Amino acid sequence: MSQNRFIEEFRWQLRELFQAFTEFRLYRTLAAMAVGIALIGVAINGIVIPQNMIAPGVSGISLLIFYVAHKPALGLIYFALNVPLFVIGWRVFALKYLFISICGVVMLSASLELTRDVRIPVPDPLMGSIIAAVILGFGSGFYLRLGGSAGGLDILATVIRKKFALPMGRVFVAVNAINLAGAWLVYDLNSVLYSALFMWVQAWTLDRVQTGFSQRRSVLIISDRPEEVAEGVMKRLDRGVTFFHGADAHSADPKKIVYTVINMVELGRLKELLFNIDPDALVVVHHTAEVIGARFLTWEEEGYHHRPPRPPAH
C-alpha cells in the first residue's frame, strides 16, 4: 500500500472510530464485554486454576506460564502476551476493532486479578471442566455476538492468515495442541483430557451463544415443479424465493433450483409442503449461522449505520 493510500485509509478509519463514539452500539458492545469478561475471570480463577486445567488460546499460554513460574500475576501475563500481537497486527485491523480489542484485553487482565480469590467448589474435575466451559463459552459468545473482542488468538490467527494464507482454524488447533502438550508436561494426562473436554465444550457453547439466537436454515430444492414449489413457499410460508438456474447432468435439460431461507419452526411445514407438491424433489437443508436481510435481522437491528465514505483506491 502506498504512503498516500495508507494515510487516506488511516484518516477514514479515524473518522469511523470517532463516529462510533456517538453511537449506542459501541457502548452496548463495551457493556457486553464487561459482563462476559467478568464471567471468564470467574470461570478461570474459580474452576480452571483449582482443577489444573488449561484454557484455549492465549489465555491457555498465560496459564501455562503462571503454573510454571507462579508469577507474575495471571492478568499481567495475559496483557504482556497481547502487546506483541497488537504491534504485529496494528496495520491489519481497523482502528475501531483495535480499540475494542485493547479495551477487551485491559478488561480481561483486570478481571483475572479482581476474581483471583474466587473459588467455585466443584469436587469432580469432569463436572468442573463442563461447568467452567459453559461459563467461559457463554461469556465469550455474549460479547463476540455484539462485535466485542478480548484480543488474543484472534489477532494472531488473522495476521498469519493474511501473511501466509494459513487457515485460521489450523492456527487455533496448533496453539491449543501446544497448550495441551504443555498441560501434559506440567501436570499429567488427566489434566490433558479434562482440558481437552473443557476446550471442546467451551467452543460448542460459544458457537451456540454467538449464533444460536438467529440461526436459520437455507434450503435448496431441485424439483420438476419449481414454480409450484416457489408459489407454495411464498404463499403458505410467507418467505421469499430465489431461482438458481442449473442443468441436469445427464440430459443437459435446464432446471430451476429453488432457494429459500426459513426458521426452524417453518422447516416441518416446508417438508409437508414439498411432500404434497413433489415427493420426488431433492431437498438440501443447510445450517445457516446468521441471516441479515428482509424479514430477518436488519443492519439497523445489528447496530450498523451509515459511515463516512471510504477513500477511493488508487
Are 168 and 202 part of one and the same domain? yes
Are 56 and 181 part of one and the same domain? yes
Are 116 and 153 part of one and the same domain? yes
Are 223 and 206 part of one and the same domain? no
pLDDT tens per residue, range 257-280: 999 998 777 888 899 999 999 999
Are 207 and 223 part of one and the same domain? no
Are 12 and 141 part of one and the same domain? yes
CATH at residue 248: 3.30.70.260
User: Which of 162, 195, 213 delimits the end of a domain?
Assistant: 213
Are 53 and 194 part of one and the same domain? yes
**Cα separation, 58 vs 172, whole angstroms:** 10
Are 145 and 235 part of one and the same domain? no
What confidence tier does 40 reach under pLDDT thresholds 50, 70, 90? very high
CA dihedral of 288, 293, 297, 299, whole degrees rounded to 10: 120
Are 29 and 111 part of one and the same domain? yes
pLDDT of residue 261: 92
Q: Looking at the 3D structure of the chain, how many domains does it have?
A: 2
20 inside domain: yes
Residue 170 CA, distance from chain mean position: 15
> In 3-state terms, what secondary structure has residue 244?
strand
Residue 110 CA, distance from chain mean position: 23
Model pTM score:
0.75
Least confident residue range of 32-46, 55-69, 155-169? 155-169
pLDDT of residue 32: 93
pLDDT of residue 282: 94
**Cα separation, 123 vs 47, whole angstroms:** 10
pLDDT of residue 145: 79
pLDDT at 314 over 80: no
Are 139 and 267 part of one and the same domain? no
Average pLDDT for the chain: 85
